Chain A
């Protein structure tokens, strides 16, 4: 069973700053199946990235994904106020535990 570990657990940043979120797999995985989601309180998750680096429809280009093997990264180049939320990575049937991005 693959385990996805996200870090940090909480990230405190200010609008305009760059955010880097990590997702590490317990063994090498296919990047084709690595996805990232954003979830705001009381809302369903929103697909941001699939295939490790492809942005889903309507996702702003300040969101980017990268990585391969066991290490994957979600980068938000310049934080907007609406970006503060919880972010999850997913590989197939496994989700990471989430990273909370909060306003500093």
Chain B
């Protein structure tokens, strides 16, 4: 059974960089050959797609966040990471990592999700 686990600081100061890592375990081929994504959910609100990365390193970002986001992958460690720069209180949210359904190279339906991690932006 594939498992994803987010890790990183739960508190980030305004103007600083939010950094999260997603570790993938289980399944027949961990992080290889799949697309992976980050999605966030502000408290009490809906879902927002942040970006998606292919195991080869190709990335696709939400245009509204593109100037501040970097997603990277480390297949040797079965991990992919999110960096969001210049954060404000509006970036406070539960951040999820997830796997794109196999055979999809666009459209991004996510079939496996991490449990999510709450990141609060506050001084």
Beta-carbon contact of B48 and A92 below 8 Å? no
Q: Is A47 an interface residue (CB 8 A)?
A: yes
Residues of B within 8 A of A44 (CB): 96, 98, 113-116
Q: Is B109 an interface residue (CB 8 A)?
A: yes
A56 to B102, CA, bound (A): 11
Distance (Å) between the CB of A55 and the closest chain B CB? 12
Beta-carbon contact of B107 and A56 below 8 Å? no
Q: Is B106 an interface residue (CB 8 A)?
A: yes
Q: Is A20 an interface residue (CB 8 A)?
A: no
Residues of B within 8 A of A33 (CB): 106-109
Q: Is A77 an interface residue (CB 8 A)?
A: no
Known: A44-B96, A44-B115, A44-B116. Contact between A32 and B46, CB under 8 A?
A: no
Residues of A within 8 A of B62 (CB): 93
Residues of B within 8 A of A (CB): 39, 46-49, 60, 62-63, 96, 98, 101, 104, 106-111, 113-116
